């Protein structure tokens, strides 16, 4: 019986091809847009396309973007309670002294814009969301 092992591997291959989430995993990455705004310094707005893994975090998408595009760089520091705090984008860093920081917004496909209620290590972007990284001030009106 020379045929049987061949049939077995053919059946196994078919099974692999048909089972979701094994061989197809790479195709499940969802596209998102990342917009970098620093109106405070009146530098032009930048826009990038990247992708996020299934249920992947924003930090992963930003890392993938940085690794694939030399025009996008960022740094973060680790907060003991909340994890990654976005510190700088393209060399521009927030500062305690100036009360500046990178605020993180999401624009949904219906154009509603909200500030995320978690940081880049916790936010899970969905397909076609725009993430807006906005260099801004806190206590904007009292300073």
Ligand X SMILES: *[C@@H]1O[C@H](CO)[C@@H](O)[C@H](O)[C@H]1NC(C)=O
Residues that bind ligand X (CB under 6 A): 37, 39-40, 105, 108, 110, 112-113, 132, 134, 136-137
137 binds ligand B12 (CB under 6 A): no
One character per residue 5-44, x = contact with ligand B12 (rule: CB under 6 A): ----------------------------------------
Q: SS3 sequence, 92-121?
A: EECECCCCEEEEEEEECCCCCEEECCCCCC
Q: Binding segment for ligand B12 among 17-25, 45-53, 54-62, 112-120 (CB under 6 A)? A: 112-120
CB neighbour class for 109 (10 Å; exposed up to 12, middle 13-18, buried from 19)? exposed
Identify whether the C-beta of residue 9 lies closer than 8 Å to the C-beta of residue 106: no
Q: Nearer Cβ to ligand B12, position 50 or 94? A: 94
């Amino acid at each position: 019986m020379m045929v049987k092992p061949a049939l077995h591997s053919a059946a196994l291959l078919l099974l692999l091809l048909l089972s979701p989430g094994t061989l197809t995993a790479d195709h499940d990455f969802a596209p998102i847009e990342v917009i970098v705004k620093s109106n405070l310094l009146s530098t032009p707005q930048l826009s990038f396309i990247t992708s996020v893994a299934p249920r992947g975090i924003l930090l992963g998408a930003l890392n993938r973007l940085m690794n694939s595009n030399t025009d996008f760089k960022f740094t973060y520091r680790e907060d003991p309670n909340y994890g990654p705090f976005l510190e700088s984008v393209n060399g521009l860093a927030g500062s305690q002294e100036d009360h500046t920081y990178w605020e993180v917004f999401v624009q949904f496909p219906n154009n509603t814009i909200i500030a995320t209620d978690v940081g880049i290590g916790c936010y899970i972007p969905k397909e076609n969301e725009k993430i807006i990284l906005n260099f801004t001030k806190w206590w904007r009106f009292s300073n």
